[in-house]
Amino acid sequence: MYMDRRSFLKRSAAGVAVAACQWSGASRLLANDDTASKGDKNDKSNSVIDDKNYRHLMGLGVSPIGLGCLPMVGYYGGKYDKNEMIALIRRAYDKGVTFFDTAEVYGPYTSEEWVGEALQPFRSEVKIATKFGFGVEEGKPTSLNSRPDHIRRAVEGSLRRLRTDHIDLLYQHRVDPNVPMEDVAGTVADLIAEGKVLHFGMSEASARSIRKAHRECPVTAVQSEYAIWWREPETKIFLTLEELGIGFVPYCPLGRAFLTGTIDENCRFQKGDRRWNLPQFTPEALKHNMPLVHLVKKHAERKGITMAQFALVWMLSRESWIVPIPGTTNPAHLDDFLRAANIRLTPEELAAFDNDYSQIHLMGHRADAFTESQIDK
């Protein structure tokens, strides 16, 4: 089901909405802050998330904000120390995060290995989401592959790297047009029956594909890019998710740091930083889109919170089935955005922001041509 953007914005004033991204990386703007404390392993007294704010994605209970673990393997450039990243993951757990997102293709494999080692001491207290769908085992990590035999090999590898006997949420990373959805969802359903997987998810899937998969195997959550400056899921899949009771897990909710106030029109990105060839991060687009940064800053200050917190609170305030997964390599950034977990905007505050937002024209697509070619339409 499709809804045009203008109609959706009118509806969102009453309560619908937005986003998710990896805030961190390796550029100078997102460098580690070594002054931040590590947190005490297994000491849940450090939690900053109220129990009442935990959410349910079709029966999968998770913290209202998860942790995306892709930036830790250098997605935005640079190399990060394994022990420091394991400490960061455990710090997130200490502060109340129970939902951790990874994939076999992140590294490849490295992210799953670090997540598995970090969470092993308290595996029963957390939910781990990982993904299949690229030809990693075949040495073709940028090619789609969701054949049933590949799915099974991917799952066995993920179980081993994650040091667990089950995957809480298994996503199809991208819809594979060469494999019938009935075969994909049917294979995952078999894995669920075997106890190796507990819940099925999809990533960057169209409403049509979501419905087709859901008929074969209940879909617990859909993950897509979503943020204040990229709201396409609202008009493309939100009505379908709401109708079917499926949760939404936005990645890049902080607009790859654009919405945090750490990027201005003079920033330039080098090859090796994922943003270097994205249309939203060209010099022209950065300059053109700065009014949005000023708008987020104005409303964040009015609420008495940081820009990163506002970007997350904005979406958390709209629907109880939205769980963003910002990522970071920086303990101070982690502490900052997790404080958004207990804050909500009033309907009046949401309406005021959306009214101001509707006056802004944004420039630049979210993906490069190759990435866009693998996104289900």
| DSSP assignments along 110-129, one per residue | HHHHHHHHHHGGGGGG-EEE
- Answer yes or no: are the C-beta atoms of 281 and 259 closer than 8 Å: no
| Residue 7 reports pLDDT greater than 70 | no
Q: What is the mean pLDDT of residues 105-113?
A: 97
**Core vs surface per residue 38-65: b (16+ CB within 10 A) or e:** ebeeeeeeebebeeebbbebbebebbbb
pLDDT at 43: 54
| Residue 25 reports pLDDT greater than 50 | no
> How far apart (Å, rounded) are the C-alpha atoms in residues 372 and 377?
10
> How far apart (Å, rounded) are the C-alpha atoms in residues 291 and 375?
29
Which of 76, 106, 251, 357 is an active site residue?
106
pLDDT at 28: 30
> How far apart (Å, rounded) are the C-alpha atoms in residues 119 and 66?
14
pLDDT at 45: 72
> By CB neighbour count within 10 A (0-12 exposed, 13-18 middle, 19+ buried), where does 276 fall?
middle
- Answer yes or no: are the C-beta atoms of 350 and 15 closer than 8 Å: yes
| Residue 40 reports pLDDT greater than 90 | no
| Residue 244 reports pLDDT greater than 70 | yes
Strand order in the sheet with 67-68: 67-68, 99-101, 127-132, 169-172, 200-203, 219-225, 247-251
> How far apart (Å, rounded) are the C-alpha atoms in residues 373 and 204?
11
Q: Which amino acid is at 235?
A: T
> How far apart (Å, rounded) are the C-alpha atoms in residues 70 and 75?
6
- As a whole number, the mean pLDDT across the chain is 90
pLDDT at 137: 85
Active site residue 106: yes
> How far apart (Å, rounded) are the C-alpha atoms in residues 237 and 206?
7
Continuous H helices in the chain: 5-15, 82-94, 110-119, 148-162, 181-193, 207-216, 232-236, 238-244, 283-303, 307-316, 331-338, 347-357, 369-373
The band of 44, judged by pLDDT with boundaries at 50, 70 and 90, is low
Question: What's the 3-state SS for 33-63?
Answer: CCCCCCCCCCCHHHCCCCHHHCEEECCEEEC
Domain boundaries, the chain: 5-373
Say which residues have a Cβ less than 8 Å from residue 119's Cβ, sequence separation at least 6.
Answer: 89, 90, 93, 100, 126, 128, 162
- Answer yes or no: are the C-beta atoms of 264 and 329 closer than 8 Å: no
How much of the chain, in percent, has pLDDT values that exceed 70?
88
pLDDT at 13: 43
Task: Name 144's bridge partners.
Answer: 134
> How far apart (Å, rounded) are the C-alpha atoms in residues 155 and 163?
12
Rg of the chain, C-alpha, whole Å: 19
> By CB neighbour count within 10 A (0-12 exposed, 13-18 middle, 19+ buried), where does 174 fall?
buried
How much of the chain, in percent, has pLDDT values that exceed 90?
87
Q: What is the mean pLDDT of residues 349-354?
A: 98
Q: What is the mean pLDDT of residues 115-128?
A: 98
Q: CA nearest 132: which of 113, 153, 101, 115?
A: 153
> By CB neighbour count within 10 A (0-12 exposed, 13-18 middle, 19+ buried), where does 7 fall?
exposed
> How far apart (Å, rounded) are the C-alpha atoms in residues 56 and 62?
6
| Residue 124 reports pLDDT greater than 80 | yes
Report helix, strand or coil for 105. Answer: coil
Fold of 5-373: TIM Barrel (3.20.20)
